[in-house]
Amino acid sequence: MKTKERIKSKIDNQKSIGITGTGFYVPEKNLSNFDLEKKIETSDEWIRTRTGIKNRRVASGREATSDLAYKAGKKALSNANLKASEIDLIIVATLSPDMLFPSTACIVQHKLKAKNAVAFDISAACTGFIYGISMAKSLMLTNNYKTALIIGAEVFSRIIDWKDRNTCVLFGDGAGAVVLEKAQNEHNILSTYLGSDGSGAILLNQPAGGSKIPASHESIDKGLHYLKMDGGEVYKLAVEIMVKSVKKVLNQEGLDENDIDILIPHQANIRILKKVAMKLNLPIDNVMMNIDKYGNTSAASIPIALSESVMEKKIKKGDIVVLVAFGAGLTWGASVIRW
């Protein structure tokens, strides 16, 4: 039996969770590399050659993370032909919540009027969306939840140092969302693979603002509320771990790299994406890349890229789609979907 036929047979004979709607939202304001040239010592060429980024979106002063998440979630619900009242579970993956508490998911629940939904946040950095769909699938299979809305949303422009050219050029704001439904025989989430290593926490973090270093004049003067990153170390680990994650999740389904129809990786750096594709012997045309338009949107990165792939008809029925990410924590994960 051919691989995809075998997978379809397996899905038809088990409880399944499928993606029935996708949507994304990015703020209207565009910040190009040329705009950044006017603010800091950098250049369009320097940014493009090192990152692949040309533009990024920046939230207006009136927009919080919940606003972006709400708009992406509303589009995903419309795409799935569902009312907000039909959603049983809302998970928001974010590193830039509206506030430490309550959860951004609860705020989004209220904005959507999804009165029947359980709502909570996940903090797993750029891997947050994959953690979210993995957790949602588990909850849907073990509880009486029939529908879930999983959102990745970030307003990173509020937590980066706009004087630090090594980090401020990388990030953008945005949100992406998917609707999951039980007993769907299309767009099925087959397997997920997750990992963490707290020994690497120092490589990518926001030192202040929590209980360890509360907000103070001193912490603000030192810029400790801004994102800090060891870019070189993160780059080296990202390639290795993302490749390993893809192989692990495929192996769980008896698949290998040759079965991938489209890879949708976290949009961190174009050099990382090309290196991952090379190590997987995957044609670059089979890798979804939109980093040039939006930059690194952390937890929003994969759902935005997935939504664009669906909208632009880059994914066909029956395709094997693999999502993979690596982020602060350190965290990593991958998911394989039979579209």
Pairing of strands 262-265, 320-327: parallel
Q: 126, 168, 188, 269: which one is catalytic?
A: 126
Q: State the catalytic residue, choosing from 79, 188, 269, 296.
A: 296
Strand pairing category for 118-122 and 89-93: parallel
HSE-up of residue 231 (Cα within 13 Å, Cβ side): 15
Asked whether the beta carbons of 282 and 263 are under 8 A apart, the reply is yes
Rounded (5°) CA angle 65-71-75? 145
Which residue type does 42 have?
T
Secondary structure of residue 158 in the 3-state scheme:
helix
Whether 29 and 58 have beta carbons less than 8 Å apart is answered as yes
Residue 334 exposure: Cα atoms within 13 Å on the Cβ side:
23
Q: How many residues does the chain have?
A: 339
DSSP 3-state of 44 = helix
Determine the residue type at 118: V
User: Quick check: is 116 catalytic?
Assistant: no
Our answer to whether residue 266 is catalytic in this structure is: yes
Specify whether 126 is catalytic.
yes
| Sign of the C-alpha dihedral computed for residues 196, 154, 64 and 109 taken in this order | negative
Torsion over CA: 10, 76, 146, 121 (sign): positive
- The helix (H) or strand (E) run that includes residue 134 is helix 128-142
Active site residues: 126, 266, 296
